[in-house]
């Protein structure tokens, strides 16, 4: 597909998104040259990032990516999912005043060190977040509390204070993530039938 064809298709998709959001006109039918692209696009596993709210059962459109990255890096998927919820509430376009961005709120230097080239790409952000969480778990002997504190405040602060630093934001963050993780773990357990 030529660059001009890609540009034209991007314009079509943008118009389609505006149409879907405003409801002002029916979406145009795909042309023969774009039907393959349209089929692939509709079959994509990650839906529109603007619709990333958690569904009723605590499921998100990112669960498959979270499971895969957690497995690759040997981290608890419930903990990784909880971290993402606390960091960005599953918004791939989230950003902080300090400069952290994406689902896992990676700082630019941290993202670069993890090989993340686009923090707004959910797959890259989740992979980078899982890898960084693994580093913190390794650095603090598997202690989830210290690893989360390091993820939030930096490993130097955790080392300096010998645990969760006395920063209200970090203390609240650690409790929030651990609470979310406990909820996700409970939600995935199957109740016994009596």
- 96-132 pLDDT tens trace: 999 999 999 999 999 999 999 999 999 999 999 999 9
pLDDT for residue 58: 74
- 133-185 pLDDT tens trace: 999 999 999 999 999 999 999 999 999 999 999 999 999 999 999 999 999 99
pLDDT for residue 1: 52
- 63-81 pLDDT tens trace: 999 999 999 999 999 999 9
Q: Rounded to 5 degrees, what angle do the CA atoms 171, 176, 177 make? A: 105
**Residue given tokens 């499971």 in the structure block:** 67
pLDDT for residue 188: 72
On whether the CB atoms of residues 140 and 159 are closer than 8 A, the answer is: no
Which are the catalytic amino acids? 87
Could you tell me the domains of the chain? 3-44 (no CATH), 63-188 (1.10.530.10)
Residues near 146 by beta carbon (within 8 Å), at least 6 away in sequence: 136, 140, 158, 163, 164
């Amino acid at each position: 597909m030529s660059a001009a064809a890609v540009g034209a298709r991007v314009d079509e998709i943008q118009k389609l998104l505006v149409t879907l959001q405003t409801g002002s006109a029916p979406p145009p039918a795909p042309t023969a040259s774009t039907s393959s692209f349209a089929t692939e696009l509709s079959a994509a596993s990650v839906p529109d990032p603007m619709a990333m709210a958690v569904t009723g059962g605590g499921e998100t459109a990112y669960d498959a990516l979270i499971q895969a990255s957690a497995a690759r890096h040997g981290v608890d998927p419930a903990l990784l999912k909880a971290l993402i919820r606390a960091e960005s509430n599953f918004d791939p376009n989230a950003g902080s005043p300090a400069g952290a961005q994406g689902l896992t709120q990676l700082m630019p230097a941290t993202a670069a060190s993890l090989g993340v080239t686009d923090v707004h790409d959910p797959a890259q952000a989740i992979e980078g977040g899982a890898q960084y969480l693994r580093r913190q778990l390794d650095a603090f002997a598997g202690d989830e509390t210290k690893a989360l504190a390091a993820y939030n405040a930096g490993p130097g602060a955790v080392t300096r204070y010998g645990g969760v630093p006395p920063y209200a934001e970090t203390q609240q963050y650690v409790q929030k993530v651990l609470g979310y993780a406990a909820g996700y773990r409970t939600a995935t357990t199957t109740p016994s039938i009596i």
